[in-house]
Structure 1
């Protein structure tokens, strides 16, 4: 009997919103506390989440608690441990900021609440037919995530020191052969480092089509042989001769500002422009992407299967998709994270929220269109393990 009650409670928790109107969901959300597990490695992001928390409390009576994390994989492990232990409700996580690799792990282990995103009114303001919103690292979203922001690997350089940007991996190597020590990247499994390695793989692999399929472990060494040959050439020419690596995008930015690097990169196309606005980079900095394009994706929010505040989490996710919240997030003075909204679906008044959000370091529309879809999520673990085997100190 006890087992039946536990299963029944879990069933009700997962499906209680399925036939409710949005006003019903907002009513259920009142008084709920949403524990939002999100990366906390940047002050501007933390400040934005605080602002969002103030807004949803004032407007909807929902408390938003930012659980500050450094690695989402640890959150996935915690949710899995709760499922294994039989904690089918009252979970410790109500909303989580995920990337494609973690989404795959959550989805395959059936740790997600939903589908829910199709019930969010503000989802209609996005291009719901876009592959960038339908797939996450080639994994079908199917309503189990809500889009939050756009991302694209974006290189930037100090125009006072470089006349022409090296717009390919081969050109970057050629630049460092002439000017050694002026570029580096974080060591994987740092997200930024892994993204750089994926970009290098795109530009060295013989057939990029295989990157969009689950990795063939037996063919992995052959498929990546040119990648490792390229990095073997690149590392001795990098900052500190590749014997140590920057900790993340923040240190790369600081090293460029200090003149130790001439080229750096971010996964946020607006980071260089925002840094100029904040006085963290000189006005001579310019952004660019490679000729073949650069790796890009959409980042999402998900709700775990055992959340007792799923209504509150949906209300928060919907607010974060609102034109007001998306415009503030895209504003260079706050965060500079690109919007996932389709601006042509907004009213003229809503479009004004996004006016004047660029400067001389912003990527052009043509460069923003040069996006390479993320490889299948299964490539990540093998790439990181092989990189560590070869290059970790």
Structure 2
């Protein structure tokens, strides 16, 4: 288990103050297009340098629809920028981080094997701690950063309580949701305590992906958050001395419910697509995913029954943003920036948010999009099993 466990004047001067504010706003509004144009000109040189380069994009490869989306992006990047995107499919992002660390230890400070990495949480914190990332902030220099709003969505700059410091570019949003068959389980458990009771009353009908799988790890974090009276220590580094004390409620829950899990808790599905398949096959009653649209997308593809619905626990569930990072020794850093910028574009983000394609929520701010892009985003159908924004807001 990682040691970082997780993861929001006097009245006489008013006329003068008003005038100063007006003047400041006027200057800011006038200067904004000039700054954007200058940033675009600077990025033109990055695009020119990226021509003909290959980007080795290390990203989890356990979901066919995500893989297909990355393939589509690769085609667009090839046609528009002459960049070859190679998807290096991972089962564990930590293995890629370990490879970068090994290259650093070996003195391989350039020409690294990884150009771009899908990352967040503990892996980003580790890369930052060991100086495995591009050293200079680069994200806010991306032309498509203008479509985000980090004030409205602070998680764009905070990765599981770790400041991103411009070292990773937001790619999508996620939240832990549970899926169930409404015809079989009309009243699913709504908190960790109810879930333990459900498991013991229905032996063999629940399981989760075993860590280091991200969804399985997120589920355990969710349990710990719910079971801990004081959650403050969970948002801070934990020492070896107090790790057992802080995590004791989780181990007690697992000791209590574990023997009644699917296959007696002796084996676990490898990842959440495998977990979803168990739900589809009727072997378990409840599955989980870190994508609110996953069940709807699976229903649309004919992989889950139409009676499947989703829910979150009554106190809310974990939610975060996932990112793209460039290692310190990337062989094609300019091309990696072009890829990250394209992935942040309204076109790529709207396509990614479509449940028929991936269903991964956008990190862009709708009020900063063009009218046409807002219309396209609003036109996306939520899906029969996808919770509304009001329900998902309980994080």
Q: Secondary structure at the match of 1:21?
A: helix
Match of 1:122 in 2: 144
- 1:20 Cα deviation after fit: 7.0
- Determine the C-alpha separation between the residues in 2 that align with 1:82 and 1:110: 12
The 3 A distance-change label for structure 1 pair 207 and 216 is farther
Gaps of 5+ in 1: 1-17, 372-393
- Determine the C-alpha separation between the residues in 1 that align with 2:347 and 2:357: 13
Which digits, 9 at most, give the CA deviation of each residue in 1:59-112, with x for residues without a partner? 112121112222222222222222222222222111111122111121111121
Moved over 4 A (4+): none
**Correspondence 1:18-167 to 2 at 5 A:** 21-113=42-134, 114-129=136-151, 130-167=153-190
- Does the 8 Å contact 1:154/1:269 carry over to 2? yes
- Determine the C-alpha separation between the residues in 1 that align with 2:184 and 2:375: 36
Q: Secondary structure at the match of 2:385?
A: coil
Match of 1:268 in 2: 291
- Determine the C-alpha separation between the residues in 2 that align with 1:89 and 1:242: 45
Q: TM-score, normalised by structure 2?
A: 0.86
The 3 A distance-change label for structure 1 pair 306 and 204 is same
- Determine the C-alpha separation between the residues in 2 that align with 1:174 and 1:74: 36
**Correspondence 1:315-326 to 2 at 5 A:** 315-326=338-349
- Does the 8 Å contact 1:148/1:299 carry over to 2? yes
- Does the 8 Å contact 1:330/1:357 carry over to 2? no
Q: Secondary structure at the match of 1:218?
A: helix
- 1:227 Cα deviation after fit: 1.7
For the aligned residues, what is the CA RMSD?
1.7
- 1:219 Cα deviation after fit: 2.0
- Determine the C-alpha separation between the residues in 1 that align with 2:98 and 2:263: 35
Which digits, 9 at most, give the CA deviation of each residue in 1:146-190, with x for residues without a partner? 000111111011001011221111111222333332211122222
**Correspondence 1:235-254 to 2 at 5 A:** 235-254=258-277
- 1:356 Cα deviation after fit: 2.6
Which digits, 9 at most, give the CA deviation of each residue in 1:97-149, with x for residues without a partner? 11221111211111211311010111121122232111112111010000001
- 1:19 Cα deviation after fit: 11
- 1:351 Cα deviation after fit: 1.6
Q: Secondary structure at the match of 2:240?
A: coil
- 1:344 Cα deviation after fit: 2.0
Q: Secondary structure at the match of 1:230?
A: helix
Q: Secondary structure at the match of 2:73?
A: helix
Structure of greater Rg = 2
- 1:270 Cα deviation after fit: 1.0
Q: TM-score, normalised by structure 1?
A: 0.86
Match of 2:322 in 1: 299
- Does the 8 Å contact 1:323/1:353 carry over to 2? no
